[in-house]
Chains A and B, each alone.
Chain A
């Protein structure tokens, strides 16, 4: 069964917390990774790799650069 948006959000929040130390509660759909969460391009790669392990969806580098917000990533994972 496909994961709900809430389940994916919780998973992404946990991953971002582990990699950057940002509290998972701050990771909300409208947040921009660079402008709001101050996450750099290398941490984005680490998040993409962890997201692949967690959700089984590969996020290639050429796609990753288009994913600006948490909502974008949720959408990509939902397919």
Chain B
């Protein structure tokens, strides 16, 4: 049997992001919920988030973000031979999102599959894209994180309604002579599967806030540091730290504990809420757009969430 030969390395060529246009502020939520702008900002760090209208699906969000990443990469749809969509909020499970996103973007007959590891989904999908390019299974991969949480939320539950939101982020991964995506460190803790879940088809998203907060602020920083170690990168040399945008207090706690002292810390949650698998590519795409990080710098991406699952890797900023 013959086996395929891949590229010596893979790198991210470009990012793209998309948010629905409808802004929902904390004051908007306080009109119907027992909450306040002060309460939400001090506990979670969010000022506003975007909520998609019923006619705009998670596929629509993904197509917008994917199209922007593709345009920024300088490639055409014909160059893409694998599409991976990370999502946990798909309205219907059959068919998958990746095939529909690919068709809408004019990508002809690519490999197409979804990844569901919730808020760490983008980092899982990026790791698989990296491996696919290096193994020769694909040449150019479109990786999209897309979430439309709004239909999965109980809008009378202030523990979730103020946190989760809609949006999408995407990256194009291609071959490279030098490595631009470091080794992934990933794992899970299925004993805590009840901490974040949708119990059945008729239920809304439920989260044990204190359990998740304790786990995120105590168990994850060693894993994030390990992702740096495996890439041979000192956390002090990171130009950016882009963790999943779950909660500003978690973000700041992990950043402090890993010693990313010189890095720009992504705080996209302030204006985007928690968009699960979309949060990391959306945050970094916006940091690049605002000129907060330079091309060629190193960023640590680190996702964590329902499962419980986690994954992270160091990347070179395109």
Query: Which residues of A pack against B, CB within 8 Å?
Result: 40-42, 44-46, 48-49, 61, 64-65
Minimum CB distance partner of A46 in chain B:
B217
The residue in chain A whose Cβ has the minimal distance to the Cβ of B44 is A42
Closest chain-A Cβ to B278's Cβ sits at a distance in Å of 24
Given contacts A44-B210, A45-B217, A64-B210, 11 further A-B contacts (CB under 8 A): A41-B209, A42-B43, A42-B210, A42-B247, A45-B210, A45-B213, A48-B214, A49-B217, A61-B208, A61-B211, A61-B214
Cα A47 to Cα B264 with chains together (Å): 28
15 A-B interface contacts by CB (under 8 A): A40-B43, A41-B43, A41-B210, A42-B43, A42-B209, A42-B210, A42-B247, A44-B210, A45-B210, A45-B213, A45-B214, A48-B214, A49-B217, A49-B218, A65-B210
- Measured CB to CB, the closest approach of chain A to B247, in angstroms, equals 8
Of chain A, the residue at the smallest CB distance from B39 is: A40
A61 and B210 within 8 A (CB): yes
B257, chain A: closest CB distance, angstroms: 12
- Contacts of B210 on A, CB cut-off 8 Å? 41-42, 44-45, 61, 64-65
Task: Indicate with 1 or 0, residue by residue over B199-217, a CB within 8 angstroms of chain A CB atoms.
Answer: 0000000001111011001
Contacts of A65 in B (CB 8 A): 210
**Residues of A contacting B42 in the complex (Cβ-Cβ under 8 angstroms):** 40
Query: CB within 8 Å of A: which residues of B?
Result: 42-43, 208-211, 213-214, 217-218, 247, 249
Q: In the bound complex, how far is the Cα of B126 from the Cα of A55, in angstroms? A: 42
Q: How far is the CA of A46 from the CA of B217 in the complex (A)?
A: 8
Q: How far is the CB of B189 from chain A (nearest CB, A)?
A: 15
Q: Inside 8 A of B247's CB, which chain A residues have their CB? A: 42
Residues of B within 8 A of A61 (CB): 208, 210-211, 214
B191 to chain A, nearest CB (A): 14
Q: Are B209 and A49 in contact (CB under 8 A)?
A: no
Complex CA distance for A64 and B211, rounded to whole angstroms: 11
Beta-carbon nearest neighbor of B195 in chain A: A61
In the complex the two chains form, what is the Cα distance from A48 to B215 in whole Å? 12
User: Roughly how many angstroms separate A42 CA and B214 CA in the complex, as a whole number?
Assistant: 8
Residues of A within 8 A of B208 (CB): 61
Nearest A residue to B214, CB-CB: A45
B contact residues around A46 at 8 Å (CB): 217
A residues in contact with B214, CB < 8 Å: 45, 48-49, 61
Asked if residues A42 and B249 are in contact (CB atoms below 8 Å), the reply is: yes
Q: How near does chain A come to B36, taking the closest CB pair, in angstroms?
A: 13
* Shortest distance from the beta carbon of A66 to any chain B beta carbon, whole Å: 13
A75, B211: Cα distance in complex, Å: 23
**Cα of A40 to Cα of B45 in the assembled complex, Å:** 14
**Would you give the shortest CB distance from A60 to chain B, in whole angstroms?**
9
Which among A40, A49, A61 has the greatest number of chain B C-beta atoms within 10 A? A61
A61→B214 CA distance, assembly (Å): 9
Q: How far is the CA of A46 from the CA of B215 in the complex (A)?
A: 11
Pairs A-B, 5 closest by C-beta atoms? A61-B210, A45-B214, A45-B210, A45-B213, A42-B213
List the B residue with the shortest CB-CB distance to A61.
B210
A64 to B213, CA, bound (A): 13
Chain A contacts of B249 at CB under 8 A? Answer: 42
Cα distance A46–B250 when bound, in Å?
A: 11
